[in-house]
Each structure stands twice: as structure tokens, then as C-alpha cells.
A and B are shown apart, each in its own frame.
Chain A
Amino acid sequence: MSKRLPCLLLAMALSGCAHHYLYSGMLEAPDSLGHLRRHLLYWNATVRPLWFDSREGSVRILPQCSLNTLDYDEQPGGILFRKRERDEPVLERANGADVCGRILHADRIVDLRPGRIDVTVDCRDAPRDAFDTPQPYLEARETPYQFQVARREVKEFSEIPTRPACKE
């Protein structure tokens, strides 16, 4: 028994004592096709009393009725929506840049707090060939979008809400 106890304690420290948190917020705004849609922003984090903490490396925005996931990835230069092949710059500040948006206020996800999160979107979805169907996301605009983000503890990350339901 004396040999098993440290193993048991270690196992508990590794997994059983972790607290899982979900940060999420929703807003309603037009997408690049002019449709008024809901957009869910979220990220998740784990706090462990006896081990190191961890957090998702991306803040995601999921648009309603579109499968285009916007990943704002934590990078050395901030929390950035890195330009993809289909993303076409709309605003002047995105021209020639590899970035289509950013999360303001913080450069690291660990520094983001519940409350107002400002997010910029500078590009739009631009299908290129016959394989591409339109997958619009938040309309690009000069001023940031403001998400009101709340934190709640979840038992598992499977409780992360899905993108807003499409009823079309």
C-alpha cells in the first residue's frame, strides 16, 4: 500500500484536481454577404493546483450558417487571425499583410479576462474555384467588434457550445 499511495496521489494531481474553464461570448452582426448572423467567440483553459496551467492557443469565432472557423492564434506578435488562401483583404491595413485581424488589449491568451473583448476583422471570404462554396464570416470594418465574454467552469471541454444553429 505504501508504494501505491504516491502513484495514486500523482495520478490525482495529474488529472483529478484540474479545473476546466470556458470563456465565451456572442454577438449579432452582418457577415460579408450582408446577412445578419450570430457569431460565437470562445476559448478554453485548464487550471491545475499541483501542475502547470494550460490554455487553448487560439480564440475561435464561429459564424452562424457558415463553417468558416476564424482562428485568432497566439503568436509572438499577438493574438492574430492569420490570413489564409481564401481570405481577401478588404481594409487598407490588411493589404500586403499576413494578418486579417487581431484581438486587442492583450498579446497572450492568458492575459485575456472576462468582460469586453475587442476583435478586428479586415478580410472577407473569397471562393476561388469550383470546389469552394461561400463560407462568409464577420464583415470587415474599421472599428473593432465588441464581444462580452463570460467565464464558466465546465466538467469537460465537450461542453463547449457549438456554432449558433442555422435554421435556413
Chain B
Amino acid sequence: MTVDPAKPRRVLVVHGVQAGSDADLHQDRLIDALIRSRLGGAPLSFGAELYRYENINDRAQRRLRLLMRLFLTNIIAQTVVDLTADLVLDVLIALKDGSTARTIRQGLVDRILEIYRDGHPLYLVAHSLGTIYAFDAVNQLIGTEGLFDRNDRRTWPVFGLVTFGSPIGLRLFNRTRVKSLGRDGRAFPRTFPWLNYWDRTDPVVSGSFYGKPRTDYRIVERFGSKTSGWEIKDRVIDTGKVWLEAHCGYWTHPGLGDDLASVLATGSA
């Protein structure tokens, strides 16, 4: 069971906080279109798909949301409160890291391993809250026997991680380190690339409700070390939008598309 260099690259997109249900989500199409629009005729064989977990969240929230509706008679108030609860409870589920979060994470790991068994070089692309699940899934797999041999990428179920609009730098998520791929004495051990993008006004990244811009350069680069085997880079982008619009503006940003094409083609950050 190894990855085949001749097979097309796969991109597994992990969405963030969502309203609605799985059937409403199609961010894989956005990423597919974004990358294809930036190729300029250069060859790149790849396909994108979406890991959907909103229905798992909704099942876990059903009782509480039903209870909240009982106290509201106005249909507009019901809709607003339900939508807000849908979004807020998605975050709380991830923060609590209980059985629902574990189910979501394990579902992602299982899908990654299915693609690995099919032999495709896989790249994870995650947005917002989905970056927490993607980060955890990669680190879980690095700790799995037989995977991520630093000198042999054929044993890598994930070839790279690209995150954007991520809250991972916020203290409440309590993520500070990557799991090391291990040391090796060989001259050119491979490194695992992780690119993290943010718009300076994105409130989910900065934690500032008012969208006060971040002015520094580093969020996740501090998660690794020279010997961790990860090649980590933070990158600032200007979506041309502010606040929550900026948080939703990454999906179509050409600079991100140029970098995604490059990561898929070179395997480097």
C-alpha cells in the first residue's frame, strides 16, 4: 500500500463552520475552478473533492436547537436563532473535542486512508474550523505505524496541508506544536509542507470581533522546528474585503490559486 507517482493528485477540501446541510456544500468546486483558472496552459492532472461533516454536527445539535425553538413563536426569530445556534454550536463542538469532534476527525482520517489505498498523492486544503480537524488528522496519521517514513513519500497519506482563515493561532484552540516526522541522518530527508494563509482583517484569524488587523507575520511557523520535518510558512493575502467578507473571500483569490497550483506541482511550500 503505497502512493503511485503516476496517479493524478487529489485535493481533499475540508470546509469550516456552516449553516445548512451537507447537500448545500460544494467548496471543492470552488477550489477546483480556482486552481484550473491559474494554470495558464501548463499541465497538471488533479481532482478535488469535499469532506462533508455538517450533518454530523447537526445531528449532535438537534435536541438543543429544537428546545430553543420552543421558546420562540415568531418565525423570523426562530430562523435567526437557529442559524446562529447552528454556527456557534459547530465551534463549540470542535472546542469541546468530545465524541462528535472525534467522529468528524475519524471520518476525515478514514477518507484520507481510502485515497491513500487508491494510491493518489493527496493534498489537504482546509478553511476556518476545518483547519483544526485537518491539522489534527495529519498529526494523528504521522503517529501511525508504517506511515510518513521521512525518506519515502510513497508512505505519505498526505503530501501537504494548505489552510486559510484558520483560528488555529487562537489560544482557545490550544494547538501549539506539530508532531515531528522524526530525525534522519540522510542527506535529503523530505519535509512536509504546510502553508497557512490569512487576511489581516479576518476576525476568525485575529480573534478581534471588530476586525482589528493583525500586523505580525507569523501564526503557525512557530508550531515547528528545524528538525520537525515540517516546512511551515505563513502567508498574508489581501482578499480586497474586510471582516467576515474577508473570511469568506479566500476561495476565489488568484494568489492563493497560484500557490495551490505550485504546491500540487512541486510538493513544496
Residues in A lying within 8 Å of B, measured CB to CB: 14-15, 18, 20, 44-46, 48, 51-52, 54-58, 60, 62, 64-69, 71, 73-76, 82, 84-87, 125, 128-133, 135, 156-158, 160, 162-167
Contact = CB atoms under 8 A, between A and B. Distances in A.
Given A67-B42, A84-B231, A165-B41, A55 B238 contact: yes
Contacts of A73: 217, 233, 235
A125 B265 CA distance: 12
Contacts of A20: 240
A158 B254 contact: yes
B44 interface: yes
B259 A15 contact: no
Interface in B245-269: 245, 252-255, 258-259, 261-262, 264-269
Contacts of A128: 188, 190
Q: Nearest 9 CB-CB pairs, A to B?
A: A57-B236, A67-B265, A163-B40, A69-B262, A166-B41, A84-B268, A160-B254, A130-B5, A56-B238
Interface of B is mostly: loop
B255 A56 contact: yes
Contacts of A163: 38-40, 42, 258
Contacts, number: 134
Contact of B42 (A52, A65, A82): A65
A85 B237 contact: no
Interface residues of B, number: 47
B42 A66 contact: yes
B246 to A, nearest CB: 9
Contacts of A14: 242-243, 245
B40 A162 contact: yes
B25 to A, nearest CB: 22
B213 A52 contact: yes
Contact of A71 (B41, B191, B217, B235): B235
Given A69-B261, A162-B37, 6 more contacts: A48-B242, A58-B235, A67-B262, A84-B231, A157-B255, A158-B254
A79 B175 CA distance: 29
Contacts of B259: 60, 69, 71
A137 to B, nearest CB: 10
Contacts of A65: 41-42
